[in-house]
Structure 1
Amino acid sequence: MRPRRPAADLPSVRLRRDVVRAVRAGHPWVYAEALAAPRGLAAGAVVDLLDPAGRFLARGVWDPDSPIAFRVLTLDPAEPVAAGLVAERIAAAAARRAELLAAGDTDCCRLVHGEADRLPGVVCDRYGDTAVLRFDGAGPAALRSWVVEAVRGLPGIGRILERPFGRTARRRGRPASLTGTPAERPAVALWGALPERSGVVRERGLRFEVDLLHGHKTGLYLDQRENRALVRERAAGRRVLNLFAYTGGFAVAAAAGGARSSVSVELSRPAADAARRNLALHGADPAAHTVEPGDAFAWLERAAAARRTFDLLVCDPPSFAPSRAALPRARTAYRRLNAAVLQLTAPGALVLTCSCSSHLDPRSFLELLRAAARDAGRRAAVREVRGAGEDHPVVPWFPEGRYLKAVLLEVSSS
């Protein structure tokens, strides 16, 4: 049996309370309140995690400015945290996505999904020949040079950008990648030149304009790819409502699937303009497929007053619960929103409704939807409970990674 001793040349932090079982089972986070650390330990330092008895437990990176103060990179005391470890894990992650990209109809996906790909806090999204990185805090960011070196070696990569998060995003209770928090600052080039602000990518044969410099997340909500495909499959002949439309991904999918019409509601005028351009890329009739800038809640009130109804409704709001403390208000908002959506359903309508907050678990979300259906006077049968696509994997030892819930409802009058 390998001795469980810390490295003599690395600083160490010690658990104050016993979360040994969770770490040994693979959970990659240790919160600050569970740790005792020496004063002055630098953010981004590679440190050994010791159990309460002083025995080696894990090796990872330190981030004193984050509630998640330690992120696990290895449980092996003989494995150094170095360029080779990062390169091996990025190569393995890219290989797992190779089949998705090999079909030729898709050139954008998540290449590295943080904790699930054994690089906690590190995200790499691919858009054509451009890789866009995000690091959730100073700990993961300490790996930046090794990540860039590894991504440069992947086939077809011509430039590497980073979308930094602002300090407010990094200080939330969970990484911004699991709370729906958009990147707050424009992209910077880490390797190669900055691209034009907007480019066009392919997803299952559809084309989308993406803003790699200023767009939400890294440019496109890649985690909704399979749910856009579902909407395309179910859209034929239907009148579609697309709320919180961003750049119109669900409306484009609906139009490609033969929807009779669609209305996309988006608060941001630049995003609404991009949605119109995305619909135009596919030759959608602008009279049938419209984009309306505005607040979704106010729009729903007006639509209910006008007795408008739809056959397929998509509701994909931003996170209402960026922290656990925000959950009570978020529950109220999700219930109110979904009740308003359900009031606009025609008989036999389908509703695809989503939550991107990891703080709201799937069971609680379903309970909120049941309550919303009662409020709206509708019967709603759950047809599917979905999540993100295969490039956003979820591992059993890290349930927090199941942040995206997408529930397909079939609705009838009560």
Structure 2
Amino acid sequence: MKIELTNYGIKRIRQGNPLIQEEDLRQPIKKIPLEWVTFVDNKNNYIAAGYLGKQNKGFGWVLDQTQRPIDQAFIMEKFQQAIEQRQAFFADETTTAFRLFNGEGDGFGGVTVDYYADYLVISWYNQTIYHFQKLIVDSLLNVFPTAKGVVEKIRFKSELKESRWLAGEKPQEPLIILENGVSYAVYLDEGYMTGVFLDQKEVRGRLTEGLAAGQKVLNMFSYTGAFSVAAAYGGALETTSVDLAQRSLPKTQEQFEVNGLSLEQQRIIVMDTFDYFRYAARKNLTYDLIILDPPSFARNKKKTFSVAKDYGRLIEDSVEILSDEGMIIASTNAANLPIKKFKQSIEEALKKKEVSFQLAESYRLPADFPASNFEESNYLKVLFYTIKK
């Protein structure tokens, strides 16, 4: 099937952007075709090949511009190249979990594959790519036959179960993976999340190396407490992990326990983040290092939180309970928030609190999460600020 693109859409592709937006199409599409398509100009000349599929980022992906057929050989080659580029991760005995294939960053938007100690987790981001599930999974297992088992995650609107086993054996759970020498308990088939966000490995690595040694650490939106565990492993004096989800308490305890770390110096609190800020201020609690890694958007019974609108409040509340010389690690995975705006919102809040501050370190996506040539692809932004009151 041929799809005619606008001149602007063609220009973006030629500049290296593989993401198709709805406005790039010359004609509106009533029903998205579940097939590979050829993108053409208004004279019917070949521009690229790929597919249309609705997902958060856009309306489809360019996969090739060389007129090759998109078949099993093509897909196997993409997986093979990705695996070869990650040989350093396979060779590192202190890390046994990483991203094996990062969608558009590895030349094939709409699907990602994570490696967890010989098990694979495939995420599908739109209906069209899922239509080719068998072809893609067969291609992957042809180039990676040593996989012990495969789980899939459905990350688009669907009646399908969000997570299920596709192939191979199920591991004994929790499956224990290593990252920078630290153990983490993961559950590969528990909904969308496994227990650890692999894109934060470098930030956790800094904590493991001793960035928080001898310090009191507060980890907000802590999920399963992975940052807290890395900080404790790296010599933190004590950690406090705060998350609204009830499951965060047993999940975080488990992460400390699999590392043989005493729970005596670790506080795990189930509470709304903003409520905890108020509680800590009332009790005159202070922290040397505060980690902020909220979801892009969250809603509880009382209110909604959006990174774009509310991050400044998080920073202001953090300053209130930060020690006289402390650090805030500010993180977001909001793809639609450019790093410049994120930095601006943090620094405006710090100026409002009349403290002196310095950007000490910054992190984007690690090497196993290659980004493509458009800003939203490199979604992770982590800024370390040293602050003096």
Establish whether TM, by shorter chain, passes 0.5: yes
- Alignment check: 8 A CA contact 2:180 2:208 kept: no
Aligned residue-pair number: 383
Task: Tell me what 2:63 maps to.
Answer: 73
Instruction: Write the mapping of 1:246-257 to structure 2, written as runs, cut at 5 A.
Output: 246-257=223-234
Write the letter of the residue equivalent to 1:242: N
Q: What is the SS of the residue equivalent to 1:377?
A: coil
TM-score by length of 1: 0.86
For residue 368 of structure 1, report the CA deviation from its aligned partner: 0.4
Taking structure 1 as reference, are residues 67 and 258 closer, same or farther at Cα in structure 2, changes over 3 Å only? closer
Instruction: Write the mapping of 1:59-138 to structure 2, written as runs, cut at 5 A.
Output: 59-63=49-53, 68-77=58-67, 79-138=68-127
Q: What is the SS of the residue equivalent to 1:150?
A: helix
* CA deviations over 1:80-116 (Å, ceiling 9, x no partner): 0111111101111111112112121111100000111
1:214 to 179, 187, 190: 190
Q: What is the SS of the residue equivalent to 2:154?
A: coil
CA distance in 1, matches of 2:55, 2:291: 37
Write the letter of the residue equivalent to 1:28: P
Write the letter of the residue equivalent to 1:199: L
Task: Tell me what 2:302 maps to.
Answer: none
Q: What is the SS of the residue equivalent to 2:294?
A: coil
Task: Tell me what 1:141 maps to.
Answer: 130
Task: Tell me what 2:154 maps to.
Answer: 164
2:244 to 259, 267, 272: 267
- Alignment check: 8 A CA contact 1:58 1:74 kept: yes
Where do 5+ consecutive residues of structure 2 fail to align?
300-304
Taking structure 1 as reference, are residues 193 and 186 closer, same or farther at Cα in structure 2, changes over 3 Å only? farther
Task: Tell me what 1:18 maps to.
Answer: 8
Taking structure 1 as reference, are residues 268 and 108 closer, same or farther at Cα in structure 2, changes over 3 Å only? same
Task: Tell me what 1:401 maps to.
Answer: 377
Where do 5+ consecutive residues of structure 1 fail to align?
1-10, 171-183, 323-327
Task: Tell me what 1:174 maps to.
Answer: none
Q: What is the SS of the residue equivalent to 2:247?
A: helix
> Matched residues, percent identical?
26
Write the letter of the residue equivalent to 1:127: Y
Taking structure 1 as reference, are residues 216 and 266 closer, same or farther at Cα in structure 2, changes over 3 Å only? farther
- Alignment check: 8 A CA contact 1:242 1:262 kept: yes
- Alignment check: 8 A CA contact 2:307 2:332 kept: no
- Alignment check: 8 A CA contact 1:113 1:124 kept: yes
Instruction: Write the mapping of 1:226-245 to structure 2, written as runs, cut at 5 A.
Output: 226-233=202-209, 234-245=211-222
Matched, 1:198 2:174: yes
CA distance in 2, matches of 1:196, 1:37: 51
1:300 to 264, 273, 277: 277
CA distance in 1, matches of 2:56, 2:344: 31
TM-score by length of 2: 0.92
- Alignment check: 8 A CA contact 1:49 1:59 kept: yes
Task: Tell me what 2:326 maps to.
Answer: 349
Segment of structure 1 superposing worse, 144-153 or 381-390 = 144-153
Write the letter of the residue equivalent to 2:53: D
CA distance in 2, matches of 1:317, 1:48: 40
CA distance in 2, matches of 1:269, 1:26: 44
1:150 to 135, 139, 150: 139
For residue 133 of structure 1, report the CA deviation from its aligned partner: 0.4
* CA deviations over 1:364-410 (Å, ceiling 9, x no partner): 01100111112333222101121122111224x22221101000000
* CA deviations over 1:17-64 (Å, ceiling 9, x no partner): 522121012211111232145867654311100123321111001226
- Alignment check: 8 A CA contact 1:60 1:72 kept: yes
- Alignment check: 8 A CA contact 1:210 1:219 kept: yes
- Alignment check: 8 A CA contact 1:106 1:203 kept: yes
Matched, 1:223 2:213: no
Taking structure 1 as reference, are residues 307 and 332 closer, same or farther at Cα in structure 2, changes over 3 Å only? farther
Matched, 1:33 2:23: yes
CA distance in 2, matches of 1:319, 1:161: 25
Cα RMSD (Å) of the superposition?
2.4
Task: Tell me what 1:325 maps to.
Answer: none
CA distance in 1, matches of 2:145, 2:230: 29
Q: What is the SS of the residue equivalent to 1:63?
A: strand
Taking structure 1 as reference, are residues 411 and 71 closer, same or farther at Cα in structure 2, changes over 3 Å only? same
- Alignment check: 8 A CA contact 1:12 1:37 kept: no
Q: What is the SS of the residue equivalent to 2:248?
A: helix
Q: What is the SS of the residue equivalent to 1:365?
A: helix
* CA deviations over 1:123-174 (Å, ceiling 9, x no partner): 0001112100011102322332232113223153111110112418x9xxxx
Taking structure 1 as reference, are residues 66 and 264 closer, same or farther at Cα in structure 2, changes over 3 Å only? closer
